[in-house]
Amino acid sequence: MTRETATSLPVHTAHRHDARVPYGRAKPPTHRNLGLTPSWHVGALAAAAAIALVLGVWSMTQVDPLQIGGAGLIGVLPPAYFVALALSLAGFVASLALRRLVPALLTWQLLVTMVVLNGADPVIHGLPRLEASFRHLGIADNIAQTGQLDPTVDAYFNWPGFFDLLGMLSGATGAKDLMGIATWAPVGINILLLAPLLALARRLTANPRHAWAAVWIFYLASWIGQDYLAPQAYSFVLLLTLVACLLSVFGGWAWPTERSGFSRWLARNVSRLDGAVPRQGVLEPPRTDAAVLVVVCALIVLTMTVSHQLSPFALIPILAALLLTGRLRLRFLPVLAVILPVAWLLFAASTFLQGHFGQLLSSLGDIGANSFGALNTRVSGSDAHMFVVYTRIAEVALVWILAAIGAVVGYRRKTPWLAAAAAAFAPLLLIPLQSYGGELLLRLYLFSLPFAVCLVVLPLTSDKAAGLSLRRSLGLLLMGAVLATGTVVSRYGNDGMESFNDDEIAVVNHLYSTAPAGAILIEAVHNTPWRFQHYADYDYRTLIAAEPLPGAAPISCDSANQIAHRAGAYLIITESQLEAAELRGSTPAGDLQRFTASCATSPGWTKVFENAGGVIFHIEGVSNGN
């Protein structure tokens, strides 16, 4: 990285159609605020980060996964882990407080924080997190092997872009097993996010110190775990890059501000609310290069469209917000961002649309059900799980409250804030559309977070060129410590059911080696690390959803027998299914164990395999009279 100064030089070239006064409070760098940091300070901070990394990884290797309880990882992490975390946080704030920012040092410290916070899956478990990771591997495997899409299998095949990418990687390298990539995905995705986050934060904040602090807060507050091997994580990287590129190259008003009464009114009010246009990170390429970048932006929108259902629709309000705040001059791009996903839904994903049309329409406009209703379904389960759920809610509330305070501070200090506030709020406009399987609020928090953190840091960072005061540094460290601790609780709160072990994988492998192709495979509770192979070769069924459903029938041998009635079936029950049922209250306490014990002796039920990770039963079909 290039050496950065604590502020940007004043620049007199305004954006096209930009009627506002450039931000001009920051002082230009002088010999007084450049290069006064002794090298040994930088070396000591880099060494402290290295120690934090070693200590953090070592402490995670000391965790016994079998001891993980209902509160998740927080209950079993040794004190050394928190020492490592504290060291990484304090080191970053100390670097941020230096007179001269050292980007290489800050990058190194952020990488350490990423590994300490997101490295639990590869270090502790050595397997991918979430059963969805295994399914995603299976879809990629299916595509790599067949080279075809069957949109009737499930929704994923209607938005296959990300899986095509994985299938291409698998097919072109001969790597049949991408489990290692899935295991390290949380760390890898967060590393990929660093550059777009930094580029974005530069365009939304007044100086590099704000930008680095905002990126740091993003990593500390990003607890929702949408960084596993999934289309969401992939599209999020693309979305942030797109927005950063637009803000950097295509900033300014999309129309002459004097064209009409509305445009004059809009420009006047935007200027009155926030007359400060951040200059750092602005690029003014030649016309031909700008045209190439327009094509690049359009291709990124197209890639998001073919890869993920939700992200392109989240992009629309964000682009609209930037357009209306005079930060995006490409008028056609928001239009393209509407046309492409709608056209894809109508034509390429028509199979999905036909099968889910009623479901999509039923939740349209139901703001209560899509927001608080969906939230309520998640506020259930054991006491320990409830503690985790409330921590999550508190963390989201804290970030949004701090962002609101930051917006007020930005307004009063005449520091850039409006574009970040508008873009942070914009994704919430999706709430009336649908609940996205009850996950909409989680996803909206993710889309909102990169913009919200640019506001969160405002009260605790100064507009002054050099360093941070001791008071602000301590405040920033305190906020970082609270968010990081909250993230350890909330991100890994479901670790008991979201992580898997080798015994469970052995059970699943045994199931595939036993069951003939085309057989019905049943999971007792929807939380099995399967389908990473033979994705479309079996008829997969579920008895109980992981989330407790109102009015759902209790689990019984009869429900499994009915599925197996004609041709027989294989039933798999794993440790993680038991954990999920207990944590989320999918079934009454002990119900799944009773189900296993009573059904094992039922006529037609044969135990095929059992180990510490789970058990497989074969249920005979009509020949047994079930």
Partner 1 sequence: MATERSYVSYATAALAVAAIPLSFVGPEGLRLAVVGLLMLAGPGTALVLLLHFNPSRSTQATGALPLSIAIAVAFSLAMSTLVATAMIYARLWSPPVSVCILSIMTLGFLALDIKRPKHVLVRAK
Q: Which stretch binds partner 1 (CB under 8 A): 170-178, 319-327, 396-404, 506-514?
A: 170-178
Binding partner 1 by CB under 8 A: which of 162, 436, 609, 617? 162
148 touching partner 1, by CB under 8 A = yes
Tokens found for residue 341: 């996903």
What are the two backbone dihedrals, phi and then psi, of residue 27, each rounded to the nearest 5 degrees? -85, 145
- What is the distance between the alpha carbons of residues 444 and 430, in angstroms, rounded to a whole number? 8
244 vs 399 by CB, closer to partner 1: 244
Minimum CB separation from partner 1 for residue 314, in Å? 16
Contacts of residue 40, Cβ cutoff 8 Å, sequence gap at least 6? none
- What is the distance between the alpha carbons of residues 515 and 189, in angstroms, rounded to a whole number? 35
Question: Strand 520-525 vs strand 605-611: parallel, antiparallel, or unpaired?
Answer: unpaired
Minimum CB separation from partner 1 for residue 289, in Å? 5
Interface characters, 222-241, with partner 1 (x: CB under 8 A): ------------x--xx-xx
54 vs 292 by CB, closer to partner 1: 292
Q: Which stretch binds partner 1 (CB under 8 A): 167-175, 379-387, 526-534, 579-587?
A: 167-175
Tokens found for residue 320: 């609209």
Nearest to 92 by CA among 109, 117, 116, 107: 109
296 touching partner 1, by CB under 8 A = yes
Binding partner 1 by CB under 8 A: which of 45, 244, 388, 580? 244
Tokens found for residue 310: 């939700």
Question: Strand 539-544 vs strand 520-525: parallel, antiparallel, or unpaired?
Answer: parallel
Binding partner 1 by CB under 8 A: which of 98, 144, 419, 524? 144
Scanning the structure block, which residue is given the tokens 């990929």? 192
Minimum CB separation from partner 1 for residue 316, in Å? 19
164 touching partner 1, by CB under 8 A = yes
- What is the distance between the alpha carbons of residues 118 and 124, in angstroms, rounded to a whole number? 11
Q: Which amino acid is at 397?
A: A
Minimum CB separation from partner 1 for residue 29, in Å? 9
Nearest to 265 by CA among 257, 256, 273: 257
502 touching partner 1, by CB under 8 A = no
Q: Which residues pair with 570 in a beta bridge?
A: 521, 618
309 touching partner 1, by CB under 8 A = no
300 touching partner 1, by CB under 8 A = yes
Alpha helix ranges (H) inside 147-230:
161-173, 179-204, 208-221
Scanning the structure block, which residue is given the tokens 């008829």? 539
Scanning the structure block, which residue is given the tokens 């100390």? 94
8 vs 415 by CB, closer to partner 1: 8
Q: Which stretch binds partner 1 (CB under 8 A): 71-79, 289-297, 374-382, 615-623?
A: 289-297
Minimum CB separation from partner 1 for residue 203, in Å? 7
Q: Which stretch binds partner 1 (CB under 8 A): 253-261, 292-300, 354-362, 377-385?
A: 292-300
Interface characters, 1-20, with partner 1 (x: CB under 8 A): xx-xx--xx-x-x-------
Interface characters, 248-277, with partner 1 (x: CB under 8 A): x-----------------------------
Binding partner 1 by CB under 8 A: which of 43, 147, 368, 603? 147
Q: What is the dihedral of CA 214, 220, 224, 229, to 10 degrees?
A: 90
- What is the distance between the alpha carbons of residues 258 and 255, in angstroms, rounded to a whole number? 8
Span 33-62, contacts to partner 1 by CB under 8 A: none
Tokens found for residue 188: 């890898």
15 vs 125 by CB, closer to partner 1: 15
Minimum CB separation from partner 1 for residue 164, in Å? 4
Concatenating the DSSP letter of every residue in 569-606 gives EEEEEEHHHHHHHHHHTSS-TTHHHHHHHHHHTSTTEE
Q: Which stretch binds partner 1 (CB under 8 A): 303-311, 472-480, 524-532, 595-603?
A: 303-311
172 touching partner 1, by CB under 8 A = yes
230 vs 615 by CB, closer to partner 1: 230
Tokens found for residue 153: 């299998």
The pairs formed by 389-393 with CB atoms below 8 angstroms and a separation of 24 or more are 389/493, 391/486, 391/489, 391/490, 391/493, 392/223, 392/490, 392/493
Minimum CB separation from partner 1 for residue 129, in Å? 21
Binding partner 1 by CB under 8 A: which of 54, 168, 401, 478? 168
- What is the distance between the alpha carbons of residues 583 and 577, in angstroms, rounded to a whole number? 10
Scanning the structure block, which residue is given the tokens 């289309």? 231
| Size of the residue set binding partner 1 (CB under 8 A) | 63
Concatenating the DSSP letter of every residue in 332-372 gives HHHHHHHHHHHHIIIIITHHHHHHHHHHHHHTTT-HHIIII
Binding partner 1 by CB under 8 A: which of 95, 232, 280, 415? 280
Strand order across the 605-611 sheet: 539-544, 520-525, 569-574, 614-619, 605-611
Minimum CB separation from partner 1 for residue 82, in Å? 30
Contacts of residue 261, Cβ cutoff 8 Å, sequence gap at least 6? none
Minimum CB separation from partner 1 for residue 412, in Å? 26
161 touching partner 1, by CB under 8 A = yes
- What is the distance between the alpha carbons of residues 200 and 240, in angstroms, rounded to a whole number? 7
- What is the distance between the alpha carbons of residues 508 and 495, in angstroms, rounded to a whole number? 20
106 vs 573 by CB, closer to partner 1: 106
Minimum CB separation from partner 1 for residue 146, in Å? 8
Nearest to 244 by CA among 293, 287, 291, 304: 293
Interface characters, 98-137, with partner 1 (x: CB under 8 A): ----------------------------------------
Minimum CB separation from partner 1 for residue 109, in Å? 16
- What is the distance between the alpha carbons of residues 285 and 276, in angstroms, rounded to a whole number? 23
Interface characters, 179-218, with partner 1 (x: CB under 8 A): -------------x-xxx-xx--xx----x----------
- What is the distance between the alpha carbons of residues 495 and 506, in angstroms, rounded to a whole number? 20
Binding partner 1 by CB under 8 A: which of 74, 77, 127, 282? 282
Q: Which stretch binds partner 1 (CB under 8 A): 84-92, 121-129, 157-165, 573-581?
A: 157-165
- The residues of the shown chain that bind partner 1, judged by CB under 8 A, are 1-2, 4-5, 8-9, 11, 13, 143-144, 147-149, 160-162, 164-165, 167-175, 192, 194-196, 198-199, 202-203, 208, 234, 237-238, 240-242, 244-245, 248, 279-286, 289, 292-293, 296, 299-300, 302-303, 306-307
